[in-house]
Amino acid sequence: MGKEETQEALDQKIAGGTAAEVDGFLGFEPGTFDHIPHYARHEALAALLHVREMEEEHVFRPGLYYAVLSDLCRATEASLVLGNEISKKRIETFILTCVDALGHIETTNYHLFLREIGDAVLLLFSSFEDAYQWWRTMHSWLDGRDGLWTDELDISRSELKQFRLKAKTIIHAGEVAYSGTNIPVSAAINQVFKVEKNFKANELGITQHALSCARPVLRSLKLRARLRCNVKLPGDKDTLGVYLIDNYEKIIRVHKRRYREMLKKMKRQEKH
């Protein structure tokens, strides 16, 4: 009689199978996992199993958690233009920037870097403000590292344009209650993959669930939610809104405008 399959081997086997097999393995409703690309299923499944295990072992403190998915834009297109070696540097730079930014912000509460999933990263925060500060820091560092690679890479101007590090980020919410009805964090992680395709480079999106919980914080940060579309998330019966709450490109434009205004003011003062 052969040895029983290890859990890791079983996880790998399921992740390489069909979306229906993954649904069955996780105990999700049919069709729940089919929105996740095949190449990302193993990493996504590993993240889901990791969080589910922590939920079952009561590692998480009861309360609300924000699931944050940040996806590097144009990964497939850039790979075709830049080739595997430079494309790999691009993805690694993005992932390392995400990790570095998390280590350098002043967080006020619990946070966890779950894992990289292909050309995306998945994180958990118990504070919405921490998630937002991480997003801003991560984008500002992406801009800086773009400049460093521009000086180092021996590629054409059009290839440099393809290399540019741009990401889109989505925030969803899940709850750890250990009793009663709730959206478990593991389910929220699965659902957030469904939302990211509705957003573009530099944009920060949020689901209705997260918006309902974080509305007071959005007001304090002077962020306004604009409805982008309505979607039906895996496992939900009804559609819900997903919203745009910020755009890093807009932040840069505002900073440049304020800088120009400051220079004009200084010149006027010099004349007097």
Contact yes or no for 63/175 (Cβ under 8 A): yes
User: What pLDDT score does 23 carry?
Assistant: 52
User: What pLDDT score does 207 carry?
Assistant: 94
User: What pLDDT score does 33 carry?
Assistant: 52
User: What pLDDT score does 111 carry?
Assistant: 83
User: What pLDDT score does 255 carry?
Assistant: 72
**Long-range own/partner contacts, residues 14-20 (CB < 8 A, 24 or more apart):** 14/45, 15/41, 15/42, 15/44, 15/45, 15/46, 16/41, 16/42
User: What pLDDT score does 62 carry?
Assistant: 67
Domain 62-247 has CATH 3.30.70.1230: yes
User: What pLDDT score does 187 carry?
Assistant: 75
User: What pLDDT score does 272 carry?
Assistant: 62
User: What pLDDT score does 21 carry?
Assistant: 58
User: What pLDDT score does 179 carry?
Assistant: 44
Tell me the sheet residues that pair with 207: 242
User: What pLDDT score does 65 carry?
Assistant: 86
Distance in angstroms (rounded) separating the CA atoms of residues 94 and 96: 6
Q: Report the SS3 class of residue 137.
A: helix
pLDDT by position in tens, the chain (length 272) = 344 445 445 444 444 555 555 555 555 555 555 555 555 556 556 655 655 565 555 555 667 889 899 999 988 888 888 888 888 888 888 988 998 898 888 888 888 887 788 888 888 899 999 999 999 999 999 888 887 887 788 888 888 888 889 999 999 988 655 444 455 666 777 788 888 889 999 999 999 999 999 999 999 999 999 999 999 887 788 899 999 999 999 998 887 777 677 777 777 777 66
User: What pLDDT score does 102 carry?
Assistant: 87
Distance in angstroms (rounded) separating the CA atoms of residues 20 and 43: 17
Q: pTM for the complete prediction?
A: 0.74
Distance in angstroms (rounded) separating the CA atoms of residues 189 and 122: 8
Q: Which amino acid is at 36?
A: I
Between vectors from CA 186 to CA 29 and to CA 199, what angle results, nearest 5°?
Answer: 90
User: What pLDDT score does 178 carry?
Assistant: 42
Could you tell me the residue ranges of all domains in the chain? 62-247
User: What pLDDT score does 135 carry?
Assistant: 97
